[in-house]
Structure 1
Amino acid sequence: MPGLFGVCDYTHKLNLATVAEEMKKILSYHSFMKTEAKSAPGMIMGKISLGLKSEDDSVHQIEGLILAWHGRILNSELNSHIPRGVELLELYRKHGSDFVSRLKGSFAVAIWDSRTKSLTLGTDRFGTRPLYYFRNSDNFSFCSEIKGFLALPGFGPKINYTALAEFLSFGFLLENKTLFEDVALVPPGSVLVFSPDRFEIRRYWKARFSRAIPGFNRKSATEECHSLLERAVQNDLEGSEAVGLFLSGGLDSRLLAGLAAENGRKIETFTFGTPNCMDGYLASRIADSLGISNRYFRLSPDFLANWGERGIWYTEGMSNCLNFAGIEVLPEVRNITPVVMNGYGGNEFLGFLSGNLAKFYFRGRLDTLAKDFYSSLAYLFSEEDKERLFTPEVYREMRGQAFQGIQEVLSKCQEETPFSRLYNFMLTQKARRLNLLGIIMDHSHLEYLIPFYDYDWTEFALRLPEKERLWARFYRFFLSEKFPVLSRIPYQRTGLPVNANLMSILGNKLARKIGLDLSDRCLRGKTASYAEYPHWTRTELKSFILEILNPANLSTRDLLNLGYVQELLNHHFAGALDNSSKIGLLLTFEIWHRQFVRRKFPG
């Protein structure tokens, strides 16, 4: 996977060259990837790249400094004719570790300073290029992927049962945890400095949603939003000859397609799903309206049997393997264009058309927010489920931890209202710890562009009044004003045009509950989901599931109540309950345990 790696060994007990070679072997798992490393006494660091012409894939070593960086840095004042790494070293000389706060973009950076024997790690404001660290009494290591630490002699980490409880409850981890106790993420918007006598993590920026802008005017805000997003897309498109876009029936990707078309770029768009899904139909209509091409990939019902282990290796056990739809198309997409834009973050900034979030706008209370939100978020394994799933010894380690995690995260939010605190959660937790993993999976083959995380635009978006995020009011108005043709095409979530009024949207939602469908006629009879997991897990994937979760094969059997696992499977296969999401989580945990604990790496 593209990214950074490094080991700092003050005791000089390690053969750093050997360790680095093993790290490169684990991290560079495609022939098109390139690797480079540079060393100094007690230190080695390197970079894995996708082998693209537009990448600065060098590790720079100048006058006692070594620098490696990963991602995209978009500061307009930097000289495009000088290698970006050389300029970053100059900024470090001038400003020290504070230089990270002056950067704009999607990046992770590492600098070793031989004069002070110190290591500096930096992340962008939103943590869009993950960087993990591990330290013990002898050394400090960092890597863009946890699996890199498996190359360290004596690395014998312990399962983080708090993180596991969160994963099984919500489908993702909170804050900066990983499934290992001694491995953590460098927080977003942070600088980490390590030396023999110092370990410090300093946050230079935190996301905060404003409650209101005095004198807010929707028309003028639309113009400002359009100008900033237009510039963000233009910045991302510059320097890339061919760019693709994963296009669905949602709002985020259609908006990016419209902005790219305005920019004069004929981008390639890609859609995947089942033959009769809404996404395929709507993406085709969106592409046709913009005069751009759309390639449709039909998902294989048994894709998980062929790609599941690889997907868990890419996402390191932190994403339900049922989220891997589309993984099988990555090699073909790379052959067409190795750089893709992604609509990651659009809803988190501009608003969700969500009744669940809306109820907290009208009736939310700060004193009961954690309890009320937890009850709606923990829809996978309940506390009672986890008690039945694990042995008593394991359950004692995780009892109540998922709820406590929600309490801690929400208590740290600076927003004044329940509604805005939940938006902060959706941005800083769910988007960063779950949605980003889908992009990380794509990054195994493709470079990613995320215009919705442009710094100038996000500063505007964070200032939107919260009532404009309610029911995605501003988002739908913006699309209607600036892209009227796109706004007349139905939205996959509602089945109605984006510019439909709120009463029509809510009316159709109520009608569906009593068996009526007021959706656009062209969508009637089409499936809302791009994948048919309940059916596939009972048919094409059944033998795969039974093989992995066979008690005789389970790597995790000493941790689990095997009778309860069998009960889940029996109810699902009999059609009594839809346990597909729970089964996906169990498959993920079992395969992750084999790969990362038992070290049975995928071929």
Structure 2
Amino acid sequence: MPGLFGLVSVRQGAFLSKSHAQKAITSMAKALSHRDDYILETTIADREGFAIARLSHSAFRGFPWPKEQDIQASRSNVFLCGVFTNDHVRILNEERLNALPHSAPGILKELQGNFSLVLIHRNSHSVILAVDRKGSEPIFYCEHDGILYFAPEVKALLTTFGGQIKMNPEAVPILLSCGHLLGDQTLVSSMTRLPGGQMVQICDGEIERKSYWAFRPGEGPYENTEIELREELIRLLKESARKNMQDPPKTIIFLSGGLDSRGILAGALIASGNQGQTLNTVSYGLAEDIVGSDAFIAKRIAERFQLRHTFFQRKAENYAEAFEETNFLTDGLSDIAAFHPYELTILKCIKERGFDRVLRGDETFGWHGNVYSLQEAEAEVGLRSIRGISLYSKMLRPQYFREWSEAGDVAMAHLESEANGMEPTDAKDYLYFTHRLQGYLHSSASYKQVLFDHRNVLLDDSILEFLLRVPSKFRLHKVLYRNAVSAMYPSLKDIPLAVCSGLEDWDSELKKESALRKYMQKQIEDQNSGVWEYFDMNAVAGVFNSLSSFPRSSSSSSLRVRVRKKISSHIFSLFPRQAMAIRTTRFQSAMMPSQALLRFLVFKHWHDTFLSPHGNS
């Protein structure tokens, strides 16, 4: 995908081998070039100890690349990728750059936008690698033999890394139990993701990761009324939509039947002067006529506001090809490829229609309701150790279930230390932003970034800073955001929210004759895979075969389930503390066989694709 990549000598005053630098840049560029129309710009300053390159979309080249004479003439060099929404030239002035590394946190905290950057001050041999507050332009990095390598995809690092490639024992159980990795994890033990709001500093021969900003909701100060906060949020939403739209004919808004995309649409309608016919929107699902689904409601919204709307059907065919291509692009960082394999095909269709930018609705306005302990906060966000999941105790070999349970516990303990001292509801929203949004949703964004200039309107820096001042009672169930959207564009309230996704039922797909079932069976019968060192083939096959013994749900049984859930929900609403405690306890062990099998599929494909060719595990 587009982004910054390269290598930097860690040792003060050390040169790089020019041939090694050129070879590394070439191999990383090849691994990252998923399209033929990317623009590649490189700077190899071997005597200064660095080689840095940038891949850009042809339609969105971005900032000027430093010229060779500028590199030689200046003590400070700046390499940028992405977009800034404030005056970055003023902030990145020569005087402040000359004060590196001490000035770096202040510089980065002032910058706003979606970016990654490298700052170099040669006299002090100070190097700063950084990403924006939400890590929207990813950087992964590793060190070997005194050289720091970095790139926007793990696979690019694997092409150049000279050390032994080992699986990360803390990350694998997190992937299997949670469906995504934690904020800084990769599946390779020596490689790290740079989380949002953080930087890597190289100085005096040392590498150090530091935080320059953190999303700590609830830190205050609380000086505004609910009405004042709502009006401020409306202003911020309008401004973010306006500056991210820029060129409506070339921009797509992903439109669902939910609340998040309505905030973006409301801002876009206002920015367009209520000219809905100038706005392009997209929805997808199994069918557009599933009553109450995202696509069904999106169609109603599009008709009501005369949007230029397109529906794309997700088809449960060609699963193997679609899954493998997506999982390759995402480096197995989450289970997104297993559950949403056809999105990439849809995105390619959108690209072929001439669109260059997509607006997406990831947000952090508040994740669900109240929690009363840190453990409940983790459960509500979907974070847990593999230890309590009985399905994996059967599927994994005893040695690895034991070792991965211990390693997963260590990862969870580190996560808990981050949120130590926070109020439970604040901790919940912190964990959501830091680990679920950046670990799961950003992996979904990565294959969009392969094709488009990708923007998250609801994660604008001004909105993130604003949310630090919003009390938890206004973040519960996104109440402040909900009220702001209703007040900003009241007629959107006339159309109800979706009540179902209208997407695939993967449990049913695994139980019946389907492309997924055939592919799963083929993978389980693959005796040459190195994954059987960790998983018991017979046990995995047993879980898979047991699915066919479960009857597919009929309409009457589905009705009974819905009625039962409604009754349980009503009872739980009367006793919220007890209900949350019960849900948390259940969550530690509950997992559907289809969910465990699909996550196994993600891990197996990643292992066979990236780890086995290196002869490592």
TM-score past 0.5 threshold: yes
Q: Deviations over 1:230-273 (max 9, x none)?
A: 11111222367621111111111121011101101722111111
Q: Deviations over 1:33-87 (max 9, x none)?
A: 22121111232110111211453373555244543322211114748xxxxxxx8
Listed as ranges, the matches of 1:195-594 within 5 Å are 195=203, 197-210=205-218, 214=222, 216-238=224-246, 242-264=250-272, 266-275=278-287, 276-277=289-290, 278-320=293-335, 321-336=338-353, 337-345=355-363, 348-349=364-365, 351-352=366-367, 354=368, 357-358=369-370, 360=371, 364-365=372-373, 369=376, 373=379, 377-378=383-384, 382-413=388-419, 416-492=422-498, 495=499, 528-537=501-510, 538=512, 539-575=514-550, 579-594=593-608
For residues 380 and 285 of structure 1, what CA distance do their matches in structure 2 show? 42
> Aligned letter for 1:536?
E
Contact 2:328–2:606 under 8 Å retained in 1: yes
Displacement of 1:597 in angstroms is 0.7
Displacement of 1:118 in angstroms is 3.6
Which of 58, 62, 66 is residue 65 of structure 2 equivalent to?
Answer: 58
Contact 1:67–1:89 under 8 Å retained in 2: no
Change (3 A) 1:407 1:195: closer
Displacement of 1:535 in angstroms is 2.7
> Aligned letter for 1:327?
L
For residues 382 and 63 of structure 2, what CA distance do their matches in structure 1 show? 44
Instruction: Tell me what 2:558 maps to.
Output: none
In terms of mean alpha carbon deviation, does 141-150 or 460-469 score higher?
460-469
Contact 1:171–1:380 under 8 Å retained in 2: no
Contact 2:219–2:468 under 8 Å retained in 1: no
Contact 1:71–1:107 under 8 Å retained in 2: yes
Structure 2 residue runs of 5 or longer lacking an equivalent are 553-591
Contact 1:169–1:402 under 8 Å retained in 2: no
> Aligned letter for 2:349?
E
Change (3 A) 1:155 1:310: farther
Instruction: Tell me what 1:595 maps to.
Output: 609
Helix, strand or coil at the partner of 1:15: helix
Which of 168, 175, 192 is residue 167 of structure 1 equivalent to?
Answer: 175
For residues 469 and 435 of structure 2, what CA distance do their matches in structure 1 show? 19
For residues 91 and 3 of structure 1, what CA distance do their matches in structure 2 show? 27
CA RMSD of aligned residues (A): 2.7
> Aligned letter for 2:525?
N
Q: Deviations over 1:110-165 (max 9, x none)?
A: 13444333432011122222211100234210111111112215243110111101
> Aligned letter for 2:340?
N
Helix, strand or coil at the partner of 1:160: coil
Displacement of 1:376 in angstroms is 6.3
Instruction: Tell me what 2:580 maps to.
Output: none
> Aligned letter for 1:249?
G
In terms of mean alpha carbon deviation, does 321-330 or 7-16 score higher?
7-16
Which of 148, 152, 160 is residue 140 of structure 1 equivalent to?
Answer: 148
Q: Deviations over 1:417-475 (max 9, x none)?
A: 11111111111110111011111121111111112222222222222221112233223
Which of 25, 37, 40 is residue 42 of structure 2 equivalent to?
Answer: 37
For residues 19 and 77 of structure 1, what CA distance do their matches in structure 2 show? 30
Q: Deviations over 1:206-250 (max 9, x none)?
A: 111117764643322221111111111112223676211111111
For residues 383 and 69 of structure 1, what CA distance do their matches in structure 2 show? 44
User: When the two structures are aligned, how many residues end up with a matched partner?
Assistant: 548
Contact 1:297–1:329 under 8 Å retained in 2: yes
Change (3 A) 1:199 1:54: closer
For residues 144 and 116 of structure 2, what CA distance do their matches in structure 1 show? 22
Contact 1:287–1:294 under 8 Å retained in 2: yes
For residues 204 and 156 of structure 2, what CA distance do their matches in structure 1 show? 22
Which of 60, 67, 75 is residue 78 of structure 2 equivalent to?
Answer: 67
Instruction: Tell me what 2:6 maps to.
Output: 6
Helix, strand or coil at the partner of 1:310: helix
For residues 456 and 204 of structure 1, what CA distance do their matches in structure 2 show? 16
Change (3 A) 1:214 1:587: closer
Helix, strand or coil at the partner of 2:100: helix
For residues 206 and 128 of structure 2, what CA distance do their matches in structure 1 show? 11
Contact 1:38–1:66 under 8 Å retained in 2: no
Instruction: Tell me what 1:47 maps to.
Output: 54
Displacement of 1:415 in angstroms is 6.1
- Percent identity for Structure 1 against Structure 2: 21
In terms of mean alpha carbon deviation, does 391-400 or 271-280 score higher?
391-400
Contact 2:177–2:386 under 8 Å retained in 1: yes
Change (3 A) 1:375 1:230: closer
Q: Are residue 20 (structure 1) and residue 25 (structure 2) matched?
A: yes
Helix, strand or coil at the partner of 1:598: helix
Contact 1:189–1:204 under 8 Å retained in 2: yes
Displacement of 1:204 in angstroms is 1.2
Q: Deviations over 1:507-557 (max 9, x none)?
A: xxxxxxxxxxxxxxxxxxxx5432232233332322122222324242312
Displacement of 1:339 in angstroms is 0.3
Change (3 A) 1:528 1:45: closer
Helix, strand or coil at the partner of 2:515: coil
For residues 427 and 148 of structure 2, what CA distance do their matches in structure 1 show? 35
For residues 312 and 263 of structure 1, what CA distance do their matches in structure 2 show? 37
> Aligned letter for 1:456?
S
Change (3 A) 1:438 1:136: same
> Aligned letter for 2:504?
A
